[in-house]
Structure formats: structure tokens, C-alpha cells
A and B are shown apart, each in its own frame.
Chain A
Amino acid sequence: DVKVTQSSRYLVKRTGEKVFLECVQDMDHENMFWYRQDPGLGLRLIYFSYDVKMKEKGDIPEGYSVSREKKERFSLILESASTNQTSMYLCASSFAGGLGNEKLFFGSGTQLSVL
């Protein structure tokens, strides 16, 4: 069974801390994505990566960075966490080389609270 695994289901951090959210997929997917989910706002794309060491900004990249050193792992980094980054973070992956109708496989999300 295919899997996208996010390292933490719940996370509580202090303002100003550096936060790492990890995501690992076992499907050999080229594309990986980080979304943020907030009530009433749906899912918004933070960053995505279509290959190792490649990254593209999404719609709301400010305050975030990413790292993809290995194909299976895509990390989201909050350099200095702020309270407005309290949210649900969803990682997803998909095959590349298609037409764009490939489905995304999602992790179970990390609910991050910044106090």
C-alpha cells in the first residue's frame, strides 16, 4: 500500500523556534508538495518540488523554506515560528511525466500550534 508519512501528527512549538516538518513517501514519486490548511481558506500551496534539490514557490511561501536532499523526503522549515503559522500542514506526492491529471497522495497532516 502506498504511503506518505508525516513525522508528527501534533506539534506544539514556541514563537521564534526553528521548526522542521518531515515528509517521506515510499512510491518513488518525483513531485512532492507542502500545503497549509486553514478553516475557511481551504488548502494553499506553500512549496513544491519536482525533483531532488529542486523547489518552486507556491502561493504562500513567506516564512517557510524547504529541503529535498533525497527523492523520498521533503522537509518544510519554519525558520522562526510565529503564531500566524499555527495551522494544519499537509504533505503530498505524485508521479511526474503525465498530463497533469495525476492524483496526489496525501499524508495525514501535522497540526502545528505555535504559542
Chain B
Amino acid sequence: AQTVTQSQPEMSVQEAETVTLSCTYDTSESNYYLFWYKQPPSRQMILVIRQEAYKQQNATENRFSVNFQKAAKSFSLKISDSQLGDTAMYFCASRPPGTASKLTFGTGTRLQVTL
């Protein structure tokens, strides 16, 4: 079974600053996939970024990047140049290989971007 832990229920950052959201996970799989999803006030979840565990290079999507530490089972999300539109719930998730495998989510971090 996989578990995902997000230890920061809420965070706040000023516009244009950088913020890092933490995520740790536990799995017995040798390969797996990690994701960050964003849920804005509209409630529709969207994928922010994903990482394959066998790839050492950290994934990057524009202002969003991850710090993947496989040995520590850590997968943090860094948001650079924060914008008001980044205000949302952020969920970390993991999934073992296989198209019918289950995606396990963390409890989420509510991020507020302020002026």
C-alpha cells in the first residue's frame, strides 16, 4: 500500500515570491509515479507536474518544479514567481505502475498568494 503525507495544511506566500510545498510518501514498489495536482476555488483539479521515480532529473513545468529525493521518499513542489492565480489546494499523489493502478492522494496544502 502507498501512503502520502503532506504536513503543511496551510501556507501563505506573497506575490512574486517563491514557496515550497512538502510531500513525503511511502511505497514498497521499486518504480512508481508522483504527481502534484492543483484544485483552485472552481474545484476542478488539474495536473501541475509529474515525476517518474526511475528518472533522476527533477521535473519542471514553467514556474513549477519538484525536488525529488528518492532515498528520503520526498517530493516537494516549488512555485517560483508566485501569482494570485496560484491560490489553491495542492495535492501530492503517488501511483504504482500499471494502467489500472490506484492513485493515492495526500491530505492537501492550502496555498494563499497575497499581494
| Chain A contacts to B: CB under 8 angstroms | 30-31, 33, 35, 40-45, 48, 50, 56, 58-59, 88, 90, 92, 95-104, 106-109
Contact = CB atoms under 8 A, between A and B. Distances in A.
Q: Rank and list the top 5 A-B pairs by shortest CB-CB distance, nearest first.
A: A106-B45, A42-B107, A43-B105, A103-B47, A101-B33
B100 A108 contact: no
Contacts of A30: 99
20 contacts: A35-B105, A40-B107, A41-B107, A42-B6, A42-B105, A43-B105, A56-B100, A90-B45, A99-B33, A99-B97, A100-B32, A100-B96, A100-B97, A101-B50, A102-B99, A106-B44, A106-B46, A107-B44, A108-B42, A108-B43
Interface of B: 4, 6, 9, 32-33, 35, 37, 42-47, 50, 52, 91, 95-108
A42 B100 contact: no
A104 B50 contact: no
Contact of A101 (B43, B52, B102): B52
Contact of B99 (A59, A92, A96, A108): A96
